Structure 1
Amino acid sequence: MKRQIRVWMKQTSLLLLLGAVLSFCRAQSQMDGEETGVDEEHVELFTTPTTKMAAATSDFGYNLFRVLASREASSNIFLAPISVSAVLTQLSLGTSESAERQLFRALRYHTLQDPALHTTLKDLLASVRTPGKGLSTAQRIYLARRLRLKQDFFTLVEQRYGVRPKALLGGSKDVKEINDWVSQETGGTVQRFLSKPLPRNAGVNAVSAAHFKGKWVIRLSQTGELGTFQVDGGTPVRIPIMQQDNYPVKMGADSDLGCMITQIQMQDDISMFIFLPDEVTTNMTLLEDSLTAEFVQDLSMTLLPAHVSLTMPVLKFSYSTNLLPLLGNAGFADWLQNTGLEKISAQPAVLSSVSHKVVMETAPEGNEYASATSPSGHLSYSVNRPFLFLIRDEVSGALLVIGRVTNPKDLAV
């Protein structure tokens, strides 16, 4: 049964003191004062091959993020799922038929019934990487030269995705080669992808990187003043903040998840969803477990508009990890037992690493300035404690970036 968020809204002005819990009330009659819950009719988004693919890559991303979150229970963590999906899908072109079925199941493709799956994914990638959306990605397979490589695999991947797998040279030469290529593909925004050489016995290596810097629909101001951010079990930290009065958002409160949910519009149909727990906590397991493509789509249909006095951290970070150790717990256990990479090499080929890096900036830039004639915002909304966020393409429903921020002071580029 589809899960619904409960949202309420008062007929009079919304009011929230800084740091207090947000509660929305459904429009009501002042004569009887009776509250009524919203029961929005679900509007199906995932009806075309591209939006179904977006849902699959998103659900894969939410699942992988949960595994990453459980491994690093109280840390800042970030992921660009669509980039990871893309590089593992490239890898599927080198697998046996049975291994491909297992890999597609883990990637959530098994329900798509899409005979042009690779074309659909390529089209989705192109649509979310249009310049105005602020996303750039890089995905490539790197292979050990010692393997007797099959050139048909190189040609097929290049035909499908416009990037040719590359044979490794060994040692520091590989570091420079990979770093230079990732930087070139992302317009110089993702630097130093690798800090050390790949494992000496490296066989098949999947590389994925992403950079996101979207612009707000309305510009935020950054005065240079520092704001206070509460941390779980520690002394509050002082961090750079962005703020704006009378800022239009969509909001709601979910009592089951114990959090406030806010959707902030960015340019070119990109949205940032912020999930702000009611308490200062890094334990967001219940919230993380609730995330699916369908749930987030429901949110976009159900949250209610409001004008707020908005304050949020300036986020600027890079995050790198090898995802290979996580894949077994993310649905890939059967495939990893026999990756079936027989179309890549005549010799047994082993997946050695799934290197991933995401870089993101939330600068105050926007397409327009806040209007002085906007409805007066009596509601204060401050992202001043650990939170979870996601960046979503509203046209396709694709999850672009997801992250958990427990302490912005620890973020590094």
Structure 2
Amino acid sequence: MKRTTPLLLLGLVVLVVVQAQTEDEPAAGEDEQAEPVELFTTPATKMAAATSDFGYNLFRALASQQDGANVFLAPIGVSAVLTQLALGASERAQRQLFRALRYHTLQDPQLHNTLRDLLTSVKTGNKGLSTASRIYLARRLRLKQEFFTAVEQQYGIRPKALQGGSRDTKDINDWVASETGNKVQRLLAKPLPKNPGVNAVAGAYFKGKWVTAFAPQSLQNFQQEGKAPVRVPMMQQENYPIKMGVDSDLSCTIAQILLQNQVSMFVFLPQEVTSNLTALEETLTAEFVQDLGSTLHATHVTLTMPVLKFSYAADLLTLLPDLGLTDWLADQDLEKIAAQPAKLVTVNHKVVMEMAADGDQSAPATSATSHLTYHMDRPFLFLIRDDASGALLLIGRVINPKDLTI
């Protein structure tokens, strides 16, 4: 659902404070900002919006299921593996999957080609993202080779028949590690279920590079709702160029921080210390985030943020009913995969992210330090977005950075 009125309020507080600072010259880093991408006008941007909206829906379901915890997703890799699965479904079952994946509005006869090209574009150009998405199938299903061929022709990745036993776990983990530069290790922490079925695997690694570097990290307090603060590694830099605004309806301050190669981090920081971020989570759509790029205001701040270095893994199968797939799960009709009924039994996802303090350039030197601060010292939401296409690459909720580990 599009939110128009609150967007008119974004940035008004910041604009009043920094008008004298910004009216004469642009903030450092503005030149690197890509031109706003036109959503909903080309097959590529329509696909990026669809995969993003699927990602926001999936994130909401996961966040609701794991209330009060750190949660993270790299949704485009999950979109990829479920779209591979759709090639094995009947026409009815494919329509159901496509609706959950937000493809039903695209009207794109070359949908698979468009998704393949989008995946290629976000994994190249030094954007920092690598993904590994693949279907694994129980051999006893009497598999149809036509499905293997169709997926390989469209996505260059051939589904694989399982051998059975612990060697399958090792094979899957080794393949995901290889596809992600050995960064996503042990995607499967335990063997797959023994019941014969279809297993979707989606691993992702992201290491972004800031346009503007931070000073070396130091230990600082991170506030928790109803608990004592925790000491966590923080990065900080004065006179840091960002775009920022205030959303009074959501009671949060929103910042856009530039990464290299036309990638941005958007941060949603509540004004109060709270672990209940549901209102923020429910607001996110591809269109809303797209509008932020032209609504936030360029300024300089003293920017402080936790060091984001983590891995997160989950089986997403139980989230599918929240995406409207209850009936589909009861009757998956994957008739093009096997000669007998085949059933999706796992959707294993793991994401690893690392963000260092270094960047392409230093913060601008000036005799007057900005009085504005953006201090991410309490629970917040963030997302990583490819500005060139509008695609959501990664999204997360940080409740306690001390719990983040790789």
TM-score range with shorter-chain normalisation? over 0.9
1:63-212 alignment to 2 at 5 Å? Answer: 63-212=57-206
Q: Secondary structure at the match of 1:364?
A: strand
Aligned position for 2:248: 255
CA distances 1:301-346 after superposition (whole Å, capped 9, x unpaired):
1000110111110011000000001101122222212211010000
Larger strand share, 1 or 2: 2
Contact 1:218 1:366 in 2 (8 A): yes
Unaligned runs of 5+ in 2: 24-35
Residues 342 and 375 (structure 1), Cα distance of their counterparts in 2 relative to 1, 3 Å cut: farther
Contact 1:246 1:374 in 2 (8 A): no
Q: Which of residues 349, 369, 374 in structure 1 aligns to 2:362?
A: 369
Distance 1:201 1:374 in 2: 67
Q: Secondary structure at the match of 2:357?
A: coil
Q: Which of residues 366, 380, 391 in structure 2 aligns to 1:398?
A: 391
Distance 2:4 2:63 in 1: 23
CA distances 1:17-63 after superposition (whole Å, capped 9, x unpaired):
xxxxxxx99x99xxxxxxxxxxxxx9843211000000000001101
Distance 2:118 2:365 in 1: 38
Distance 1:79 1:11 in 2: 33
Distance 2:114 2:144 in 1: 25
Aligned position for 1:3: 4
Q: Secondary structure at the match of 2:119?
A: helix
Q: Secondary structure at the match of 2:40?
A: coil
Q: Which of residues 32, 50, 54 in structure 2 aligns to 1:56?
A: 50
Distance 2:163 2:368 in 1: 61
- Provide the aligned length of Structure 1 versus Structure 2: 390
Equivalent position amino acid for 2:4 in 1: R
Contact 2:269 2:379 in 1 (8 A): yes
Contact 1:270 1:392 in 2 (8 A): yes
Distance 1:393 1:374 in 2: 34
Aligned position for 1:32: none
CA distances 1:132-165 after superposition (whole Å, capped 9, x unpaired):
1000000000000111000111011000000000
Distance 2:278 2:16 in 1: 35
Q: CA deviation at 1:365?
A: 1.9
* TM-score, length-scaled by structure 1: 0.91
Q: Which of residues 281, 285, 289 in structure 2 aligns to 1:296?
A: 289
Are 1:285 and 2:285 an aligned pair?
no
State the superposition RMSD in angstroms: 1.9
Equivalent position amino acid for 2:135 in 1: I
Contact 2:135 2:198 in 1 (8 A): yes
Q: CA deviation at 1:220?
A: 1.0
Distance 1:194 1:10 in 2: 46
Equivalent position amino acid for 2:90 in 1: S
Aligned position for 1:269: 262
* TM-score, length-scaled by structure 2: 0.93
Contact 1:95 1:339 in 2 (8 A): yes
Equivalent position amino acid for 2:376 in 1: V
Residues 242 and 181 (structure 1), Cα distance of their counterparts in 2 relative to 1, 3 Å cut: same
Aligned position for 1:46: 40
Contact 1:253 1:259 in 2 (8 A): yes
Distance 2:187 2:15 in 1: 52
Contact 2:14 2:245 in 1 (8 A): no
Q: Which of residues 215, 218, 225 in structure 1 aligns to 2:212?
A: 218
1:277-356 alignment to 2 at 5 Å? Answer: 277-356=270-349
Unaligned runs of 5+ in 1: 15-23, 29-41
Are 1:412 and 2:399 an aligned pair?
no
Equivalent position amino acid for 1:226 in 2: L
Q: CA deviation at 1:3?
A: 2.0
Equivalent position amino acid for 2:12 in 1: W
Equivalent position amino acid for 2:54 in 1: F
Q: Secondary structure at the match of 2:142?
A: coil
Distance 2:313 2:81 in 1: 16
**Structure 1 stretches of 4+ moved >6 Å:** none
Equivalent position amino acid for 1:356 in 2: H
